[in-house]
Amino acid sequence: SHQKYIRNFSIIAHIDHGKSTLSDRLLEAIGLLKDKSSEQVLDSMEVEKEHGITVKAHTVTGFYKAQDGNTYQLNFIDTPGHVDFNYEVSRSLKACEGVLLVIDATQGIQAQTLSNFYLALEENLVIIPVINKIDLPSAHIDMVKEQIEKDLGLDPAEALLISAKTGLGIDTVLEAIVQRIPAPKGDIHSPLRALVFDSYYDSYLGVVAKVRVFDGSIKKGDAITFMLSQKNYQVEEVGYTQIKLVPQSELRAGKVGYITAAIKSISDFGVGDTITWTNKPCAEPLPGYKEVKPYVFAGLFPAEGEDFEDLHEALMKLKLNDAALTFEKWNSAALGMGFKCGFLGLLHLQIVQERLDKEFDLAIITTIPSVEYRITLSDGSIMMIESATELPDQSKIRQIEEPFVLSHIILPNEYLGAILQLIQDRRGIQRNMIYIDTDRVEIIAELPLAEIIYDFYDKLKSFSRGYASFDYEFLEFRPSEIIKLDILVNGKVVDALAQMVHKDTAYERGRSVVTRLKDLIPQHLFVIPLQAAIGSKIIARETIKALRKDVLAKCYGGDITRKRKLLEKQKEGKKRMRTIGNVDIPQEAFIEVLKRG
Ligand code: GTP
């Protein structure tokens, strides 16, 4: 059958172990990427290039003439490696029969190698271990093979040895894909069952849905129904993606590709939905995705001069391929109408913020991110809040609970002391410590989510010279002594800067926030007092000195073009500011104040 020559696979790995580089080599090998200068084509979003990480999963179809003389259609999907984006990985895996599990020969198995491995195992996929970077002198191939046997329970003899950088061993990867990953097994004669695993909005085509056809077939003109949203459409185009969209006459069972159907109303379109024929529907939809629960919440507000409706539209379009993003309308005293949005982590928030800027040309203000808190009121009722401004009056509160996570940290022994200290500083509780082998240890610790969302990952990396890796999962809500910290700028409480803090760290946090704000808010023509307060008690203060007028005059000088340029630059910068009580607060201020020195 036609399915015999199809292979659907994904590449999974710990961050920086070489997925993108391997993807490029595979694309080259199948003739999709000829120019070496256009490296890392799969990281096509501008934001990804800047962060150097893969955020969105991409699907690419190529053709490969195998040693057995047959030509195979290879559909492969790039997956992100950052701990914030595990949900994207499981999404991609649902469209595959097998995965390449890339392991850096110099680093061995890391926390996300394990978590990705388990995701693939859950989906019953064939797993091909690939040891990468064997060109490096510090490669420890035998050590990694041992870990593959011990930690993953896979046969180390099956591991492929490659260098994605030099291209060494890429041919063995292609052959392994063809020989070890099974062909898809859909029933072409059954009614259509296709899983929507990704989508994006194109201004000409409308929604472009990335689909995996499990049963039946889909072609132009078909009347289709999205089973979960119960929406009907007529298919306009189907095809596969080769960097660009390549239209085909039909997508049959087993294939991965895209469909368009002039879907313009994006609000009722969902990733994870099943597409079927309207007139001859399949019996059951495919198992969709686990609803992803956001962990971190922040207000997003249009910056000066931007439109609320534009922001609403942009968020809906972003949600098309970012199912984890949630948003609801939110009214802030300081910032006006905006949205309270849910994110998987701080990196996710920053990426959304950057995508709004780069892809939609929208400047926005992000308020202080917060986790969710569970509040028990005096009358016994329970409410969840996602921002300090929603905290009810102290007199009405019986108990506040904060989310805890269970984290797994893998690191070389020599950094153990530093990392245990970091865990303790972040109110963590060490639960277990396992010596994995002679020089690596795994720490299992319970940590308050609020203490890790901001800069824990960065700190972990810098305290271990890049060697520690971590992963976490939600554990439970626990009673905690949390209080609200208010920030006053120029004598006014700024609701968007209020935050929930632990009692023991309130003073330190208050001081650190006003000190940071002092650096972040530019000087004005008047003096700006900055204060941190708990209730009516001021616990820290700083002052931003007034800008002297003559300094301004001198810096502009007499050169009129230079002056105009400066003014234009100032206007540009202004886009990312909000004026609160006469004071211009730059966008970065709201997130930067949370980072600790
Ligand atoms: P994310 O997309 O961020 O998850 O990273 P990734 O896993 O895709 O890693 P990427 O391909 O970006 O590679 C990370 C770094 O390792 C880059 O600097 C690559 O140039 C380098 N690298 C990848 N493969 C090899 C290899 O075989 N040998 C050597 N020496 N370096 C490699």
* pLDDT tens sequence across 199-237: 888 888 888 888 999 999 999 999 999 988 888 999 999
Kindly state if the Cβ of 19 falls inside 6 Å of ligand 1.
yes
Question: Can you tell me the mean pLDDT for 381-400?
Answer: 91
Q: What distance in angstroms lies between residue 119's CA and the mean position of ligand 1's atoms?
A: 22
Question: Ligand 1, residues 11, 16, 469: which to mutate, most atoms within 8 A of Cβ?
Answer: 16
The residues near 568 (Cβ < 8 Å, ≥ 6 apart) are: none
Kindly state if the Cβ of 15 falls inside 6 Å of ligand 1.
yes
18 assigned to a ligand binding site: yes
Please tell me the least confidently modeled range out of 84-88, 216-220, 456-460.
84-88
8 Å CB contact between 330 and 338: yes
pLDDT of residue 142 exceeding 90: yes
What are the residue ranges of helices labelled H in 212-331? 308-320
Written as six digits, the tokens of 487 are 């920030």
Please tell me the least confidently modeled range out of 135-144, 271-280, 584-593.
584-593
Q: What distance in angstroms lies between residue 447's CA and the mean position of ligand 1's atoms?
A: 30
What is the amino acid identity at position 350? Q
- From CA 379, how far away is CA 391, in angstroms rounded? 16
138 assigned to a ligand binding site: no
17 assigned to a ligand binding site: yes
- Residue with more model confidence, 89 or 57: 89
- From CA 440, how far away is CA 491, in angstroms rounded? 52
Best-predicted range by mean pLDDT (2-16, 167-181, 350-364): 167-181
- Residue with more model confidence, 203 or 564: 203
Closest by alpha carbon to 129, among 90, 168, 107, 98? 98
Kindly state if the Cβ of 133 falls inside 6 Å of ligand 1.
yes
Closest by alpha carbon to 117, among 107, 128, 106, 108? 128
Q: What distance in angstroms lies between residue 164's CA and the mean position of ligand 1's atoms?
A: 8
8 Å CB contact between 401 and 395: no
What are the residue ranges of helices labelled H in 30-79? 46-51
Share the mean pLDDT of the chain.
84
Question: Can you tell me the mean pLDDT for 521-548?
Answer: 89
8 Å CB contact between 159 and 131: yes
Atom 29 in ligand 1: residue holding the nearest Cα = 133
Q: What distance in angstroms lies between residue 41's CA and the mean position of ligand 1's atoms?
A: 14
518 assigned to a ligand binding site: no
At residue 83, the pLDDT reads 52
Q: What distance in angstroms lies between residue 101's CA and the mean position of ligand 1's atoms?
A: 14
Indicate the length of the chain as a whole number.
Answer: 597
Residue 415's CB is within 10 A of a number of other CB atoms, namely 18
Kindly state if the Cβ of 163 falls inside 6 Å of ligand 1.
yes
Kindly state if the Cβ of 107 falls inside 6 Å of ligand 1.
no
Q: What distance in angstroms lies between residue 140's CA and the mean position of ligand 1's atoms?
A: 17
Closest by alpha carbon to 544, among 491, 482, 469, 472? 491
Ligand 1 atom, smallest distance to 136 CA = 30
Question: Is residue 36 classed as helix, strand or coil in its secondary structure?
Answer: coil
Atom 28 in ligand 1: residue holding the nearest Cα = 133
Atom 3 in ligand 1: residue holding the nearest Cα = 53
512 assigned to a ligand binding site: no
Question: Is residue 31 classed as helix, strand or coil in its secondary structure?
Answer: coil
- From CA 379, how far away is CA 247, in angstroms rounded? 61
Written as six digits, the tokens of 523 are 């000087």
For the segment 178-209, what is each residue's pLDDT rounded down to a tens digit?
Answer: 999 999 999 999 999 999 888 888 888 888 88
Q: What distance in angstroms lies between residue 506's CA and the mean position of ligand 1's atoms?
A: 41
- Residue with more model confidence, 547 or 88: 547
Q: Is the ipTM reported for this complex over the cut 0.85?
A: yes
20 assigned to a ligand binding site: yes
Percentage of the chain beyond pLDDT 90 is 43
pLDDT of residue 282 exceeding 80: yes
- From CA 529, how far away is CA 540, in angstroms rounded? 11
Question: Can you tell me the mean pLDDT for 164-184?
Answer: 96
- From CA 263, how far away is CA 588, in angstroms rounded? 36
132 assigned to a ligand binding site: yes
pLDDT band per the 50, 70, 90 thresholds, residue 595: low
Kindly state if the Cβ of 6 falls inside 6 Å of ligand 1.
no
Ligand 1 atom, smallest distance to 23 CA = 11
For the segment 415-432, what is each residue's pLDDT rounded down to a tens digit?
Answer: 999 999 999 999 999 999
Question: Can you tell me the mean pLDDT for 573-597?
Answer: 67
At residue 594, the pLDDT reads 63
At residue 112, the pLDDT reads 81
Question: Ligand 1, residues 15, 20, 76, 166: which to mutate, most atoms within 8 A of Cβ?
Answer: 20
Q: What distance in angstroms lies between residue 591's CA and the mean position of ligand 1's atoms?
A: 29
Kindly state if the Cβ of 21 falls inside 6 Å of ligand 1.
yes
